[in-house]
């Protein structure tokens, strides 16, 4: 059997869906030693994790006939970090449990909470949601966890990175102590291991990542391109590779809006996904990609997790990701379920060193090249035309096709007919852009910057002299404070992700009892505010704030520069006018 030990009702649903055999993670959760146990699972993106925990839950939810009992208080709770991922999980479980009589309810930010509350009160078997919305329903008495048999934490590493530790602990503490806890994560870092020790009992460890080996179904390319040529390079990459569906990642909503407009003008059928779109708009955009109505999706990192499009063969990083984990999760939108995919990083010459560090941290190797030229695209177009399926079809006997062919061949030469075919073929394709080609060998690498790791490990290099010229930054107020266990260890990476900035752009961090004040480089403040305003409702809120009074630290010394052990700056904070954080650059 392709899914040995799976309930008949789920096995038939998988067969109807075209699943011929189980992936490694799916086979592992169905093994006899996993039955009824807590599971601590690490598996890469696109490995079939949703079906895996759907199968793992089954023996706790279904009776001997493969059916769920009458609906009441939920029996299973699935917690996911983002709305998109939660809704995708709900869709997957819908078809997987379609023959079991299971009633599944989703609870996510951006949806009408009263509709969700009515669905919960009507009774269900499985609840899928984001941490913030689930805690909101729990605090209002609308979510009853007393009957839970299984709790699933999907993408647990991302939920901790987003600062949802308190919400997760609230939900886990409210669940019965004899429940099963299934924890799925791309990696098992220290925080994940600590969470597992606290809330799991005799958990079975399942590792299908294989020691963090690179995803062999994804090939990586790094393309050097001038910042002014980024839009043209994106156009040429899309034209050269001609993937049925592609995603282009940008840092900011404004960059998404601009790039999608450019692509639409050039003839690409495209959609946009960013934080300023409502959930219904985002869902419609994803469906248009799945059904082939759009070919290109331009998105912020809100699409880096939770989007599964079968024919997505190309991911383009128009803006370099902030860390290796984001690189892998963005890239993981392609190369899913055994399919091949390509990931392309667009790298300005000044950021080549950063791109190399990202690739090294993600343990992947990229082929470096310059931007595709119109000549490269013309050659690829010619190969596609010569192998087009339309040239191999049999001539229909009906419909007057033979008469029309005879008239064409009698009145036109073969060269004329071929030229007409080529012209018609090219007229349907977007025009390539003229871009400057930068050869990787001709671009001199920027000198290696001294990193925080060098400071921690005692690099032999002489430390740079501290800059005296400081430029005050802009201050922002975060809705979490010391009472919420705010800590720079997770605040800094979260601010980089939410605001599309780097650690160097973050100045002083002042943690107060009920809020936190953060200083952002002046030239990054507008972009940071724009990005942070698009954060999901489940995440913290960020608002502009007045600069704190000198010496006002709220009982804790100011912290600056991110979690690296650097000594705090002077109370005024500030940024070097000539440092890397003050360089102007476009969003893509």
* Same domain membership, residue 247 and residue 314: yes
Tell me, yes or no, whether 158 lies in a domain. yes
Tell me, yes or no, whether 399 lies in a domain. no
Tell me: the pLDDT tens digits for 390-431?
Answer: 787 777 777 677 788 888 888 888 888 888 888 888 777 888
Vertex 528 angle, CA 527 and 529, to 5°: 90
Tell me: the pLDDT tens digits for 195-217?
Answer: 888 899 989 998 876 544 455 67
H-type alpha helices, 388-475: 401-411, 414-427, 452-457
Half-sphere exposure of 62 (CA within 13 A, CB side): 22
The DSSP code sequence of 393-417 is PPPPSSTTHHHHHHHHHHHS-HHHH
Tell me, yes or no, whether 449 lies in a domain. no
Tell me: the pLDDT tens digits for 330-364?
Answer: 887 787 656 788 999 999 998 999 999 999 888 88
Tell me: the pLDDT tens digits for 379-391?
Answer: 998 888 888 877 8
Give the pLDDT of residue 466: 39
Contacts of 558 (CB under 8 A, 6+ apart): 508, 509, 510, 568, 569, 571, 573
Structure tokens at 120: 């919960």
Give the separation between CA 558 and CA 510, rounded to whole angstroms.
Answer: 5
Q: What is the CATH number of the domain that holds 126?
A: 3.40.50.300
* Same domain membership, residue 181 and residue 73: yes
* Same domain membership, residue 80 and residue 142: yes
Q: Domain boundary residue among 332, 356, 376?
A: 376
Tell me, yes or no, whether 315 lies in a domain. yes
pLDDT category at 455 given cuts 50, 70, 90 is: very low
Strands 126-129 and 150-153 come out as: unpaired
The DSSP code sequence of 4-42 is TT--HHHHHHHHHTT--S--HHHHHHHSGGGTTS-EEEE
Q: Domain boundary residue among 207, 226, 252?
A: 207
Q: Is the pLDDT of residue 536 over 90?
A: no
Tell me, yes or no, whether 273 lies in a domain. yes
Give the separation between CA 166 and CA 331, rounded to whole angstroms.
Answer: 29
Tell me: the pLDDT tens digits for 5-32?
Answer: 888 999 999 988 888 888 888 999 999 8
Residues 28, 29, 30, 36, CA torsion sign: positive
Give the pLDDT of residue 386: 85
* Same domain membership, residue 227 and residue 167: no
Per the structure, the complete domain to which residue 123 belongs is given by: 8-207
From the list 46, 57, 49, 42, the residue with the least C-alpha distance to 10 is 57
Tell me, yes or no, whether 507 lies in a domain. yes
CA-to-CA separations, 540 to 109, 132, 543, in angstroms, rounded: 13, 10, 10
In terms of average pLDDT, the best of 171-175, 249-253, 432-436 is: 171-175
pTM: 0.57
* Same domain membership, residue 142 and residue 227: no
Tell me, yes or no, whether 139 lies in a domain. yes
* Same domain membership, residue 150 and residue 99: yes
Q: Is 561 left (phi over 0), alpha (psi -120 to 50) or beta?
A: left
Tell me, yes or no, whether 439 lies in a domain. no
| Least confidently predicted of 83-87, 222-226, 574-578 | 574-578
* Same domain membership, residue 483 and residue 368: no
pLDDT category at 457 given cuts 50, 70, 90 is: very low
Give the separation between CA 521 and CA 334, rounded to whole angstroms.
Answer: 35
* Same domain membership, residue 485 and residue 363: no
* Same domain membership, residue 151 and residue 245: no
Domain count for the chain: 3
User: Taking a C-beta distance cutoff of 8 angstroms, is the pair 587, 299 a contact?
Assistant: no
Q: Which residue has the higher pLDDT, 499 or 294?
A: 294
Give the separation between CA 36 and CA 17, rounded to whole angstroms.
Answer: 26
* Same domain membership, residue 180 and residue 247: no
Residues 149, 154, 157, 160, CA torsion sign: negative
Give the pLDDT of residue 177: 92
Give the pLDDT of residue 282: 78
Structure tokens at 500: 């599309």
In DSSP terms, which residues pair with 366 in a beta bridge?
Answer: 220
Half-sphere exposure of 204 (CA within 13 A, CB side): 18
* Same domain membership, residue 21 and residue 66: yes
Q: Which residue has the higher pLDDT, 515 or 551?
A: 515
Q: What is the CATH number of the domain that holds 486?
A: 3.30.70.330
* Same domain membership, residue 151 and residue 54: yes
Strands 516-520 and 506-511 come out as: antiparallel
Q: Which residue has the higher pLDDT, 302 or 69?
A: 69
Vertex 89 angle, CA 344 and 291, to 5°: 60
Q: Domain boundary residue among 207, 234, 256?
A: 207
Give the pLDDT of residue 306: 58
Mean model confidence pLDDT for the chain: 81
Give the separation between CA 366 and CA 356, rounded to whole angstroms.
Answer: 9
Q: Which residue has the higher pLDDT, 583 or 261?
A: 261
């Amino acid at each position: 059997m392709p899914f040995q030990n799976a309930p008949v009702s789920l096995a038939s649903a998988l067969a109807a869906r075209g699943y011929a055999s189980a992936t490694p993670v799916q086979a592992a959760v169905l093994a006899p030693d996993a039955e009824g146990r807590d599971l601590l699972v690490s598996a890469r993106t696109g490995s079939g994790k949703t079906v895996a925990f759907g199968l793992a839950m089954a023996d706790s939810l279904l009776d001997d006939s493969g059916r769920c009992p009458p609906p009441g208080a939920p029996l299973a709770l699935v917690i996911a970090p983002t709305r998109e991922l939660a809704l995708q999980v709900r869709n997957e479980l819908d078809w997987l449990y379609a023959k079991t009589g299971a009633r599944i309810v989703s609870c996510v930010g951006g949806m009408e909470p009263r509709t969700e509350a009515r669905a919960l009160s009507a009774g269900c078997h499985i609840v899928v949601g984001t941490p913030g919305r689930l805690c909101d329903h729990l605090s209002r008495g609308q979510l009853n966890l007393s009957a839970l048999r299984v709790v699933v934490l999907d993408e647990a590493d991302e939920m901790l990175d987003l600062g949802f530790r308190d919400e997760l602990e609230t939900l886990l503490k409210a669940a019965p102590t004899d429940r099963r806890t299934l924890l799925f994560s791309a990696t098992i870092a220290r925080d994940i291991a600590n969470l597992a020790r606290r809330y799991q009992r005799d958990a079975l460890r399942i590792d299908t990542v294989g020691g963090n080996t690179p995803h062999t179904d994804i090939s990586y390319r790094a393309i050097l391109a001038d910042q002014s040529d980024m839009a043209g390079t994106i156009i040429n990459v899309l034209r050269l590779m001609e993937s049925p569906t592609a995603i282009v990642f940008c840092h900011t909503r404004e960059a998404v809006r601009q790039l999608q407009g450019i692509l639409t003008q050039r003839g690409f059928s495209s959609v946009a996904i960013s934080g300023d779109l409502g959930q219904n708009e985002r869902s419609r955009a994803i469906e248009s990609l799945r059904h082939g109505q759009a070919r290109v999706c331009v998105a912020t990192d809100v699409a880096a997790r939770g989007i599964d499009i079968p024919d997505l063969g190309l991911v383009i990083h128009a803006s370099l990701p902030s860390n290796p984990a984001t690189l892998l999760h963005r890239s993981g939108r392609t190369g899913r379920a055994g399919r091949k995919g390509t990931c392309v990083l667009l790298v300005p010459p000044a950021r080549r060193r950063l791109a190399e560090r990202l690739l090294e941290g993600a343990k992947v190797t990229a082929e470096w090249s310059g931007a595709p030229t119109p000549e490269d695209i013309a050659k690829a177009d010619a190969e596609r035309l010569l192998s087009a399926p339309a040239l191999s079809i049999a001539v229909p006997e009906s419909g007057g096709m033979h008469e029309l062919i005879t008239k064409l061949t009698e009145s036109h030469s073969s060269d004329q007919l071929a030229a007409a075919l080529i012209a018609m073929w090219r007229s349907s394709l977007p025009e390539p852009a003229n871009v400057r080609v930068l050869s990787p060998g001709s671009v001199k690498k920027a000198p290696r910057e001294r990193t925080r790791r060098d400071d921690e490990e005692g690099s032999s290099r002489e430390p740079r002299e501290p800059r005296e010229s400081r430029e005050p930054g802009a201050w922002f107020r975060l809705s979490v404070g010391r009472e919420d266990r705010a800590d720079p260890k997770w605040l800094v990476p979260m601010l980089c992700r939410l605001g599309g900035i780097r650690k160097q752009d973050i100045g002083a961090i002042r943690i107060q009892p009920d809020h936190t004040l953060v200083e952002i480089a002046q030239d990054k403040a507008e972009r940071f505010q724009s990005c942070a305003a698009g954060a999901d409702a489940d995440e913290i809120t960020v608002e502009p704030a007045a600069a704190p009074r000198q010496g006002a630290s709220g009982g804790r010394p100011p912290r600056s520069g991110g979690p690296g052990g650097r000594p705090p700056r002077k109370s005024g904070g500030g940024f070097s006018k000539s440092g890397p954080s003050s360089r102007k650059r476009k969003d893509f």
